[in-house]
Chains A and B, each alone.
Chain A
Amino acid sequence: MVQMTINGKVVKAPDGEMLLTVIRRQGIDVPALCDHAAVEPCGSCRMCLVEITREDWNGWKKYVTSCLYPSENGLIVSTHTPELQEIRRNIMDLYLARCPGSELVQKMAEEYGLTRTSYKTIPEGDNCIMCYACTRICEVLGRNAISAVHRGHAKVISGPFDDPPPDCIGCLSCANICPTDVIEWHDQDGTRAIWGRTFDLISCRQCGKGIITRDFAEYLKEKRQIPADYFEICDDCKRVELARKMGGLVDLAKEVAS
């Protein structure tokens, strides 16, 4: 355990735990767009910047992304100084220019008194904030189907050779983790379309609802020792069936009791 000071309060934390985690455990709300519990932090959104200093730094201080800065003894952390709020306001101003259509960005920008950007909005902007949450979650899943390609303003998230990614299994993890809901997909007539590819959906044997793509189901069965018939019935129908079984048990119990 190490001992630090966060906003004037003495706090203990496990050695090396990232500052953002410690700060949030204290109930302090530090904003972040790229942070997600399912993936490793990458420090791309810059919103979680905090000010750090130490007794022996003689008043010297610096700004670090708290999601990537490990806890250490004697650290003095401030999370909401006027300077930090000004930095965060500027970052949100830039995000607003890049992602004018994102509800989350609009909401966060409003907290800094911004309703419109002071920069020029990117006309062909697609609301992607380049946080790599999608590529990071794809890596966690062991597929690595998509990555960031090209550089600078031309950078986009795409499959190898800018083609539909061959390693994609249509699991929707990328679309679900995306903070600005940029990744397009849709289910229709027993198929799912995402990243320019179309996947077969397994339909529930009872209600006919699409449950999961065949490729994702196969992948999970292989990796997670899931029973072969697990994806034949959807979760809703499983619950109904379970309730019916439980009802039967109650009847049985009544019979035994009488």
Chain B
Amino acid sequence: MAHDLAKIQEIINRSPQSPGSLIAVLQDIQREFHYLPCEALEATASSLNVPLSKVFSVSTFYNAFSLNPRGERIIRICQGTACHIKGADLIQEQLVAGLGLKPGETSPDMKYTLEVVNCLGVCAMAPVVVVNDKIHGGVRCDKALKLVKKD
């Protein structure tokens, strides 16, 4: 996939051009493109004077970074203990069927990415579904699909 190299460079230039900016720059690129394109990693390495091997190492280490394209809307279903007890499985079933995606997959139109996470730390609101960064508590399985499509 071809990317706007000028845009990538503009994002990189927002931070101080030193190795210490690596994670901040990768976060900014991730926010813009929803993943880290190869070209962006190469541009980051040469601009910040960090070896490409290290850039790749860092971008594969953190869960916050993805090397595969992700959808506009990232849906995270919590499968932590409390959510699990409160029927997260049923919600997952509904979303998997409704979106036609398995956990970890992105729809071909790049609209949705479905993910399963182990705990979001808001167990009192169980069962929880996160759409982009908005947390929805007390989700009902019959309304889950509508919820993730609406927002």
Binding site for B on A (CB under 8 A): 135, 139, 144-151, 159-161, 165-167
Contact = CB atoms under 8 A, between A and B. Distances in A.
Contact of B53 (A145, A150, A151): A145
Contacts of A167: 51-53
Contacts of A147: 51, 53-54, 56-57
Shortest 3 CB-CB contacts between residues of A and residues of B: A144-B51, A147-B53, A147-B57
A171 B65 CA distance: 32
A149 B54 contact: no
16 contacts: A144-B52, A144-B53, A144-B54, A146-B53, A147-B51, A147-B53, A149-B56, A149-B57, A150-B61, A151-B60, A151-B61, A160-B53, A160-B55, A161-B38, A165-B53, A167-B51
Given A147-B56, A167-B53, 11 more contacts: A139-B51, A144-B52, A144-B53, A145-B53, A147-B51, A147-B54, A149-B57, A149-B60, A150-B61, A160-B53, A160-B55
Contacts of B56: 147, 149, 160-161
Interface of B is mostly: helix
Contacts of A161: 38, 56
A151 to B, nearest CB: 5
Interface in B12-60: 38, 41, 51-57, 60
Contacts, number: 34
A140 to B, nearest CB: 13
Nearest to B61: A151
Nearest to B57: A147
A159 B53 CA distance: 6
A159 B55 CA distance: 11
A146 B57 CA distance: 9
Contacts of B51: 139, 144, 147, 167
B43 to A, nearest CB: 13
Nearest to A151: B61
Interface string B104-126: 00000000000000000000000
A139 B51 CA distance: 9
Nearest to A154: B60
A165 B61 CA distance: 18
A167 B52 CA distance: 9
Contacts of A144: 51-54
Contacts of A151: 60-61
